[in-house]
Chain A
Amino acid sequence: MSETALRPAARVVTRPSTPRKRRRRSAYARRQGRAGLAFVTPFMIIFTLIMIAPLGYAVYQSLYTTKLIGGTSFSGFANYSAVLQSGDFWGGVIRVIIFGGIQIPVMLAIAFFFATIFDLGVARWGPLFRAIYFIPFAVPIVVSSVMWGFLLDPAYGPFNHLMNAVGFHNFNWLSGNLMIPSIIIIAIWEWTGYNCIILYTALKSVPRDVIEAAILDDTPLWRIIVRIKLPMVRPAIIMLVFINTIGAMQLFIEPTILNNYQAGVVTNTWTPVIDIYSTAISNGQYQLGAAMAVVLAVIVVAISVASLGFRGRRRGQQ
């Protein structure tokens, strides 16, 4: 291996104009490059096979239309134009943006609060509670949705009994107006523990000497938390905003399951992914569904790029 790696370099030696120093670095760099390539290749092959190729195939499919009568024909951007003009699709996009816009900040605030308490070490049995808060994340979403469905059940759920007991009669957690707030509660329950662990880990990595210096300066605790620790874990928070946003855009399981407990609220276009599912699977228009998925992917990528831009600008300022 090393011999073959050196041979091209030896050829380069014959060129008098090439400085010696650079020649050596070039051989070294090439060797490095090959080693790197060897490491990356297995990943790239799998990534291409299971990610890039299906993506390309989906884009290809989205340019065709299959009819029960008439078969498959090339339809250009007709599917995309149908998606862009679909009020139902964009209604779903707006719904998940509202959902994420409320759920993510509230959840991150709660997660940061608990992460700070664990980080300060003021709570007894911190590791135990960290584990307990993490448990909802380990419960499959289908299972937790079924559980919450029973808890919020319009007639027999304990949460409805609770609302009755405090004077709100005929309260329905799963009614049209409260379905999004209820799913926000469920999502917060599911994801706070996970976000809390990430933030806790980030807080742990804040250098001790910085905090010690602040303590020696008689800085109040809340100032240490808000002015020192919070800015230092900002990259972690931005990352969490970013991945939770992607998750929110793909809201699917919770409303699909809750639909079995309350008729007539979750429509077949309620979120973009439910819309894609019913278009592709139920309506058999899988090419139109592929176009919708591509549009949704573009929206997610746009949000990601915006988020990275935000992150980069912040870094530049510091």
Chain B
Amino acid sequence: MESVGLFPVLALSAVLFATGVGGVLTRKNALIVFMSVELMLNAVNLSFVAFARHTGAVDGQVFALFVMAVAAAEAAVGLALVILLFRNRVTVSLDDLDLMKG
């Protein structure tokens, strides 16, 4: 990777992150929003791994592993919530969920 350097990896991470943000902000389907969040998490993971490679220490990779574990937990709970939501409202459209309206 010496011929590539750090910058392109981080740029890829930024692009993926921004794509995820765009998905979170624009899609109505809760599952797709959820997947966009996963995309953002992976973008961050990429940064961790890139920095780990840059410093030569392995800590960044350990962090990436932790993020994956937390993402797994989050996916389990989040998907359970989506199921619960669908069972009660027969929709997964976020636009229909405004019970917290002030």
A binds B: no
